[in-house]
């Protein structure tokens, strides 16, 4: 079974692209979602996050206070590195366990991660896809989706590797702009991955 990494800057549309792969029966591991789940369920991680970012990192019902943590880490590179060092190893382990339960008949799986290249996890994948979109389109999409300001989105964009660097590490590109069809591009890659294992 092939492991295909898929990434893209904030608002590039990587989750949207993954939903198209899911309609073709391809299982997707959503690293960002899993990261947030284990930050609530893994008690060692919970203790680490509280110790690094304060007890306010969690609400009284135990849910994650995303806004509190985001306000700290996206304004301070050292704090972000501290959070990444706590969370990323646990996400790597969760992916390994997830892959083991995928039926052997499945030809390939996708690992969707915002920080695939930055975290080094792309090295453990057989191929990596970069989803691209123009900066202005990404900014507008996230502002509309999350109800946040341009400055808040830019603070995250600044913490991610620029597309010109990601392109050098990617094996496949998907253009998620207003003119290229996602379905056509996903179908082409799906055939390519199936052919590569025949
Ligand atoms: C800081 C947190 C609490 C903010 O939560 P929030 O609900 O606002 O954002 P969410 O997790 O949905 O992420 C939205 C987008 O923000 C960007 N982003 C998230 N974490 C990071 C990060 N560590 N570095 C750079 N960009 C990031 C990504 O583009 C991501 O797709 C959360 O993102 C988090 O716990 N991040 C650390 C874990 C992580 O690195 N996740 C991403 C890769 S596994
Ligand atoms: N081709 C498209 N046309 C119109 N809207 C789109 C398109 N692709 C994505 N969007 C919208 O843009 C927003 C961002 O897309 P999505 O959540 O898939 O991006 P993402 O790369 O996973 O973002 P993040 O890094 O924040 O997790 C969503 O509201 C989505 O519905």
pLDDT at 79: 96
**Mutational test site, ligand 1, from 29, 36, 77, max ligand atoms within 8 Å of CB:** 36
Q: Which residues of the chain have pLDDT under 70?
A: none
Which residue's CA lies nearest to atom 24 of ligand 2?
A: 10
Contact 175, 13 (CB under 8 A): no
Q: What are phi and psi of 118, to 5 degrees?
A: -60, -35
Q: What are phi and psi of 62, to 5 degrees?
A: 90, -5
* Domains delineated in the chain: 1-27+108-198 (3.40.50.300), 33-101 (3.40.50.300)
Which value does ipTM take for this structure?
0.92
Q: In what order do the strands lie in the sheet with 2-7?
A: 28-30, 108-112, 2-7, 127-132, 172-175
Give the angle subtended at the CA of 126 by the CAs of 28 and 172, to the nearest 5°: 80
C-alpha 63 to ligand 2 mean position (Å): 25
């Amino acid at each position: 079974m092939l492991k295909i990494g898929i990434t893209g800057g904030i608002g590039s549309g990587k989750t949207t692209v993954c939903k198209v792969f899911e309609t073709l029966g391809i299982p997707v591991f959503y690293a960002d979602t899993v990261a947030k789940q284990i930050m609530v369920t893994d008690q060692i991680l919970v203790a680490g996050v509280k110790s690094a970012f304060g007890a306010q990192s969690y609400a009284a019902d135990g849910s994650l206070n995303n806004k509190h943590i985001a306000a700290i880490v996206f304004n301070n590179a050292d704090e972000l590195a501290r959070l990444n060092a706590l969370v990323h190893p646990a996400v790597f382990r969760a992916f390994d366990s997830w892959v083991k339960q995928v039926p052997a008949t499945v030809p390939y799986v996708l690992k969707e991660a915002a920080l695939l290249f930055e975290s080094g996890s792309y090295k453990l994948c057989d191929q990596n896809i970069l989803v691209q979109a123009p900066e202005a389109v990404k900014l507008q999409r996230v502002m509309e989706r999350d109800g946040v300001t341009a400055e808040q989105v830019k603070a995250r964009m600044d913490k991610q590797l620029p597309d010109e660097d990601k392109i050098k590490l990617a094996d496949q590109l998907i253009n998620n702009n207003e003119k290229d069809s996602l379905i056509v591009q996903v179908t082409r890659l799906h055939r390519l991955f199936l052919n590569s294992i025949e």
